[in-house]
Amino acid sequence: MLRKKTTFYVNARAIIERETPQGTEVLLQRRQKRGQPQRLEFPGGQLEPYEGILDALKREVREETGLKVTQLLDGTNRTANDAPGGEVECLTPSFVYQTTRGPVDSVGFFFRVRAAGELTQRGDGAGGHEWLALAELCRRFETQPDGFDWLTQGALRFYLRGKEA
């Protein structure tokens, strides 16, 4: 059977957390690309050809937020295996997603991270950055799910499981 060739994307995305006296906050941003709804999403994007997953994660966070990833919150168990003919990076993300239906065919890796630096007003295709306390994030997601892009909705369902509101 012949398969129709489609564009397939591989992404690295960050759930940037920070601790405050009131508890954990998470950074979200608004998509700001012409012709696309300005919904909340997590920073991240496509890997470049042969770019390491963690390198892509750090680059995308810097381009979209101005921040520098300083810590991975879940152990990645990263190894790089150099062999004749190529190199293979193996690691453990916080969680993985795959789209099984929708406007894009993609697989991606989410990492819980900490980041430092000055948050930009507008990054590469993103702006309206907003730190949300977990309780507020849960409330908004429950009452206004359409305020988040469809991919972020799926990620939030996974990320917020078992979190105290």
Residuewise pLDDT in 10s, the chain (165 residues): 666 667 899 999 999 999 999 999 999 999 876 776 779 999 999 999 999 999 999 999 999 999 999 999 998 899 988 888 899 989 999 999 999 998 889 999 999 999 999 999 888 888 899 999 999 999 999 999 999 999 999 999 999 997 754
pLDDT value of position 6? 77
pLDDT value of position 2? 64
User: Residue 9: which residues within 8 A CB-CB, separation 6 or more?
Assistant: 46, 104, 105, 106, 107, 108
Which run of H or E residues covers position 139? Answer: helix 134-143
pLDDT value of position 34? 73
Burial class from Cβ neighbours inside 10 Å (0-12, 13-18, 19+) for residue 53 reads: buried
Burial class from Cβ neighbours inside 10 Å (0-12, 13-18, 19+) for residue 157 reads: exposed
Please, which residues bridge with residue 30 across strands? 40, 127
Residues 150, 155, 157, 163, CA torsion sign: negative
Q: What is the reported pTM?
A: 0.91
